[in-house]
Amino acid sequence: MATFKAIRVDKAVKGTTAALTEFDEAELMEGDVTVRVECSSLNYKDGLALTGKAPVVRRFPMIPGIDLAGTVEQSSHPQWKAGDKVICTGWGMGETHLGAYAEKARVKGDWLVALPQTLSAREAMAIGTAGFTAMLAILALERHGLTPESGPVVITGAAGGVGSVATAVLARLGYHVIASTGRLSETDYLKGLGATEVIDRNELSAPAKPLAKERWAGGVDSVGSTTLANLLSMTRYGGAIAACGLAAGMDLPSSVAPFILRGVCLLGIDSVMCPVTSRKLAWNRLASDLDRAKLTEITHEIALDQVIAQAPQIIAGQVRGRVVVKIP
């Protein structure tokens, strides 16, 4: 069997180790489609897996990387054939199933969606799991009835991957976007994406009141904890917040007041086990609603051998926008 380049995470005496190495194709897990990976991306969860900061990896050895775009090499699945361009995100890749930081991946054909014809593999991974999650959140807000006429929307962690894509898409759709960030030095960047206002995340970091002054009709939160509690307390009557992250923690020190006194809704967003029908809709919307020039602005590219060094930076919140991983 052939070998290929891959990042491998192994269990160590204390924690885990990660290294770029040669991986034996015979060690690939079960699946009916083998994909030649062209691009992946660096997400917060990837940073956790690579650094061992949280128990994301649940089998060893593991190839991390939770998303990929590439070309089908072999397939016994009826929907896919050699040469098809595909995207795969979630489904436990990089956690329980060998992931995307490799020249090859073997996955279940049911996990794949076709790469939209108007997107390249690089553009798809410039969007990646973060952008896909952002669009799932926007779709959930739209199902709730949110429109630009409803009022302002707030985006937390706005300079990160989810936040950058959410800001760009919502601004293009005509929303008044309030971008919350801990890096006010990124104000010009966020306004360039279309944010109308930029606020310091400290405005949302104090212990939340049961109800505070109504400030927005909806929002996308990738931070969690006290930040999410504050968002809920400041949401207008009948509004909604889509929650998709936990950068500040898994707790939610809130009360029932926003829900029973203002009719606020908390919309949970999961991108890992999301049904394929929702995936197709999200990717089609991303292909049409995300300005490619803005996508270029939020993206930079690294090679596979640079991924491990970048992981601590994304955990520390020092990465702007999206990072594409080019697979050689």
Q: What is the dihedral of CA 228, 234, 236, 240, to 10 degrees?
A: 0
3-state secondary structure of 146: coil
pLDDT given for residue 1 in this prediction = 53
Q: Residue 121: which residues within 8 A CB-CB, separation 6 or more?
A: 38, 39, 69, 70, 85, 115
Q: What tens digit of pLDDT does each residue of 9-53 get?
A: 999 988 899 999 999 999 999 999 999 999 999 999 999 999 999
Compute the 3-state secondary structure of the chain and give helix, strand, coil in percent, each to the nearest 5: 35, 30, 35
Output the average pLDDT for the chain: 96
Q: What tens digit of pLDDT does each residue of 208-227 get?
A: 999 999 999 999 999 999 99
Confidence class of residue 328 from pLDDT cuts 50, 70 and 90?
confident
Question: Which CATH number is 3-115+298-326 given?
Answer: 3.90.180.10
pLDDT given for residue 14 in this prediction = 87
Q: What tens digit of pLDDT does each residue of 149-168 get?
A: 999 999 999 999 999 999 99
The pair of structure tokens assigned to 108 is 């279940």
**Best CA proximity match to 242, nearest among 98, 322, 146:** 146
Cβ 104 vs Cβ 304: under 8 Å? no
HSE-CB at 146 with a 13 A cutoff on CA atoms is: 32
pTM: 0.94
What is the Cα–Cα distance from 233 to 227, expressed in whole angstroms? 10
Confidence class of residue 204 from pLDDT cuts 50, 70 and 90?
very high
Q: Do domains 3-115+298-326 and 129-268 have the same CATH topology?
A: no
In angstroms, how far is CA 18 from the centroid of its own chain? Answer: 22
Q: Residue ranges of the domains in the chain? A: 3-115+298-326, 129-268
Q: What tens digit of pLDDT does each residue of 117-145 get?
A: 999 999 999 999 999 999 999 999 999 99
Residue 95 backbone phi and psi in degrees, to 5: -120, -65
What is the Cα–Cα distance from 173 to 247, expressed in whole angstroms? 27
Confidence class of residue 91 from pLDDT cuts 50, 70 and 90?
very high
- Measured from the Cβ of residue 142, the count of other Cβ atoms closer than 10 Å reads 13
Asked whether the predicted pLDDT for residue 289 surpasses 70, the reply is yes
What is the per-residue DSSP string for 115-136?
PPTT--HHHHHHHHHHHHHHHH
3-state secondary structure of 4: strand
CATH architecture of 129-268: 3-Layer(aba) Sandwich (3.40)
pLDDT given for residue 114 in this prediction = 97
